[in-house]
Amino acid sequence: MPEISTKICKQLQLEKLVFCSSFQFLLKPGHRIGQVTTLFVKFEKETVEQFRKMFAGFQTNSEVANVKKSPSSGKNICKTVKGSQKYCKMFAEIEETRHRISALKLFLIQRAKRRLAAENEELQKHLEKLKLDYQILMDRRELYSKLGLNTVSNENISLENSNEKIATTKDVVKDKKEKPKKKVAEKMDKITASDQKNAVNISSLDIRVGLIKKAVKHPQADTLYVEEVDVGEDGMRTVVSGLVNFIPLEKMQNRFAVLLCNLKPAKMRGVESQAMVLCASTKDAVEILEPPEGAVPGDRIFCPGYEGTPEAQLNPKKKIWESVQPLLLVNADGQACYANNPLRIVGKEGCLTAPTLRSVPIK
């Protein structure tokens, strides 16, 4: 009776039920129903007799009785029941498959979102690195401009142009060219000396040997260690390092390290870090730099050819560490170098080394 079912659903304000395994539906409290109308009309006896005569056909009572007694009719009924059960089972499987497809679709969408988020994060990091490199290049350009490199090139060009205009013979041209060359050479020597004196290099960094006395995990960060380090001062320095994913906690106890000690102290998740551990670093591995045998806490690290007095505290606005760091790396022999010159300890033999990593940056 599809028409009656449709009327009932309309009165109860329900969606049409399709492929249902059960014909029971419970209404929630507060559900509003539609306008109530008559669904069935009572048949009087006269109407029943009238319909009986109209639709009785030509069967005799005996034929009807034989049909009722026939065993084949029972089999047909059983087949019909079994068929309906089969369809119900099939519809249930279709519904289950639909739910599985929806769940799979949701899973694929979430995985794609996570992948896009990771790619976006990598691109953001790369963009920040490019911005930092650009700032370093601009700072160097400003430094070279202050040192007078542009003035020299302009002077050289103007002198050469004047020589071409004034020279009338080969001897005159030769004399005119020798004079500006001498002037340029003298000025370049002055600029080189001034550059070595004023240019940003590793001599501005206070790098020392330190002894990590104790290390514990940061109480508010899963990837950070909090270390107590002896760097040759009266008291210990507190240092926060992101080494949890690379170095086990037991290997962080009572070990030597190399630290940058004149960075401006900064809080990391509520704990102030007063230095930075220098490490040979790749994307997948990090190793703490090791001083040579005989080193003690507080030993000063320097680079031959770049001697000088380190600043008391680096100014973050000058980006000194950011300018020096690209030239710090571990060479193919495992030695820590600045501008391809091995780092050494003042007054002692040996170089800083990385245990296993080779040809990688120092961070």
pLDDT digits (tens, 9 = 90+) for 47-105: 888 888 887 765 555 554 554 555 555 555 555 555 667 777 888 888 889 889 988 99
Query: Using one digit for the tens of pLDDT, what is the confidence trace for 276-327?
Result: 999 999 999 999 999 999 999 999 999 999 998 999 999 999 999 999 999 9
* Percent of the chain at pLDDT exceeding 70: 74
Tell me how many degrees the CA angle 160-161-166 measures, rounded to the nearest 5.
Answer: 95
Query: Using one digit for the tens of pLDDT, what is the confidence trace for 151-198?
Result: 444 444 444 454 554 445 445 445 555 555 555 456 545 544 444 445
Question: What distance in Å separates the CA atoms of residue 288 and residue 362, rounded to the nearest whole number?
Answer: 10
The answer to whether the beta carbons of residues 205 and 307 sit under 8 Å apart is: no
The one-letter amino acid code at 127 reads: L
The answer to whether the beta carbons of residues 250 and 289 sit under 8 Å apart is: no
The answer to whether the beta carbons of residues 276 and 328 sit under 8 Å apart is: no
Using a 10 angstrom Cβ sphere, with 0-12 exposed, 13-18 middle and 19 or more buried, the burial of residue 294 is exposed
The answer to whether the beta carbons of residues 236 and 291 sit under 8 Å apart is: no
pTM here? 0.48
The answer to whether the beta carbons of residues 299 and 260 sit under 8 Å apart is: no
Q: Does residue 149 register a pLDDT over 70?
A: no
